[in-house]
Amino acid sequence: MLWLSFLKEQGGPEELPAKMALDWWSPMDNSWKIFEEYHIDENLGFALPNPLEELPHPYDAWIAIAKNLPELIKNGQLRAEVEKLATLSIDGLQGHKMQRLAHLVLGYITMAYVWGQGDEDIRKVLPRNIAIPYCKLSGKLGLPPILVYADCVLANWKKKDPSGPMTYKNMDILFSFPGGDCGKGFFLVSLLVEIAAASAIKVIPTLFNAIQCEDLDALQKALLDITSSLHKALEVFHQIHEYVDPKLFFNVLRIYLSGWKGNPLLSEGLLYEGVWDTPKKFAGGSAAQSSIFQCFDVLLGIQHTVGGVPSGSAAGFLQEMRTYMPPAHRNFLHSLESGPSVREFVLSKGDALLQETYNECVQAMVSLRNYHLQIVTKYIVIPASQQAKKKQASEEPSEEENRGTGGTNVIDFLKTVRGTTVRSLLKEG
Ligand code: HEM
């Protein structure tokens, strides 16, 4: 990826050494210690535990804007406020959590600056006072300089009552876009899906151990545990209907999550003033940047690649989305790829019950993707066609309207990914 070379220029994080990518599940290792290295929490999975909410002076000036984003946008003051900001060095941003909060805040400010009031008045240049610290910080964190899922979902939450449960009612997001509670619904439900599936990540070391020891009973149990976590994740997914309004999602939130790659509105990309001489293209924020589905794809041998090479544009897009994940999570997926193949092992044993249990696990991924397809139809495809009818411009929604925030042609892409998942089910006999 082009921007990964930028990270190297900025002295960004290194990939983990090869040793780390091997055998971390071996019984000798304390697997949770290793999971810490991959920034995976025992209870929250890939979500950032207890994200910070405040930045010290002088970075509090960024927070002040991000906290008032919908208001400043509505009053038409946002861009002027952003242009007034001092160009800050990032040296005072100490520690991972502070840096993640700053990346989240600068991401919100950047999206708001570019898309303005969500109409045709967009900006193609990000001023240097934001662009320089944002790109430096992005280099340091190994993330691109655009709002990513790791910002707006994984690091954008708090509990209302700190001693209460991780439930929608007891949670809130730290920063909002216009569109009322639609953003809160989309970000928090995505986070809760992540957390529900996190209990399945815990099982991975047990599962690999079972394969190494050829313990079929333990493997059977591990697969059942993973299936049950994926079923729970699907149940949580249902909450999207309660908390996300399709019209607000399509007409408002989707605009602020849009990127500048494959987007005709910014066909050249965005110019990060003072950083690069030419505009750069980055995909918008999307749950396709979540590591959780890709994690179970890799684990179960659901291969969107052929011989390690992405097989077609859907697989290419999923691979590309990995470069929008925190490097520790990207490395985790990579390390799983070097682990033992669950699928090959199950096949080699010829045990009907084990095959059935493996298939239930893959089927749980199919069900998640089926459900997701229904959601995308409700939240993107139907509103897009209604809009097209209103405009009476054409019978069919334009390609642009049918695109997801990540810039894909949504339904074709999602059906391809689901198809690969279905084909991973083992045939009987
Ligand atoms: C209103 C709710 C949602 C909408 C409208 C939506 C829309 C989309 C779209 C358009 C894509 C295609 C990629 C792109 O262009 O961005 C996508 C991909 C994806 N989304 Fe969602 N999404 C929603 C909720 C979620 C949630 C809650 C999750 C789970 C945390 C999720 C997980 C994924 C994944 C993993 C992909 C990659 C494709 C795959 O692996 O199957 N989405 N989504």
Domain presence at residue 34: no
Ligand 1 site, residue 244, Cβ cutoff 6 A: yes
Domain presence at residue 20: no
Range with lowest mean pLDDT among 25-34, 99-108, 165-174, 352-361: 25-34
- C-alpha–C-alpha distance, residues 412 and 182, integer Å: 26
Residue 333 has a CB neighbour count (10 Å cut-off) of: 17
The stretch 99-120 carries a mean pLDDT of: 98
Residue 14 DSSP one-character state = P
- C-alpha–C-alpha distance, residues 427 and 275, integer Å: 53
Ligand 1 site, residue 404, Cβ cutoff 6 A: yes
Q: Total domain count for the chain?
A: 1
Q: What's the predicted TM-score (pTM) here?
A: 0.92
CATH number at residue 276: 1.20.58.480
Pairing verdict, β 157-159 and 305-306: unpaired
Domain presence at residue 106: yes
Q: What is the mean pLDDT of the chain?
A: 90
* Structure-block tokens of residue 83: 């242009």
pLDDT of residue 147: 98
The stretch 347-361 carries a mean pLDDT of: 97
Domain presence at residue 295: yes
Helical residues (DSSP H) of 153-239, grouped into ranges: 182-201, 204-212, 216-237
Domain presence at residue 26: no
What ligand 1 atom has the least distance to the C-alpha of 244?
A: 1
The stretch 33-38 carries a mean pLDDT of: 80
Domain presence at residue 32: no
Confidence of residue 123 (pLDDT cuts 50, 70, 90): very high
Ligand 1 site, residue 290, Cβ cutoff 6 A: yes
Residue 290: which of 358, 195, 165, 200 has the closest Cα? 195
Domain presence at residue 306: yes
How does pLDDT run across 199-236, given as a tens digit for each residue?
999 999 999 999 999 999 999 999 999 999 999 999 99
Percent of the chain past pLDDT 70, that is, above it, reads 86
Residue 270 DSSP one-character state = B
Residue 170 has a CB neighbour count (10 Å cut-off) of: 14
Domain presence at residue 428: no
Question: How far apart are the CA of 120 and the centre of ligand 1, in A?
Answer: 26
Name the residue range of residue 345's domain: 2-14+39-423
Nearest CA residue ID for atom 6, ligand 1: 376
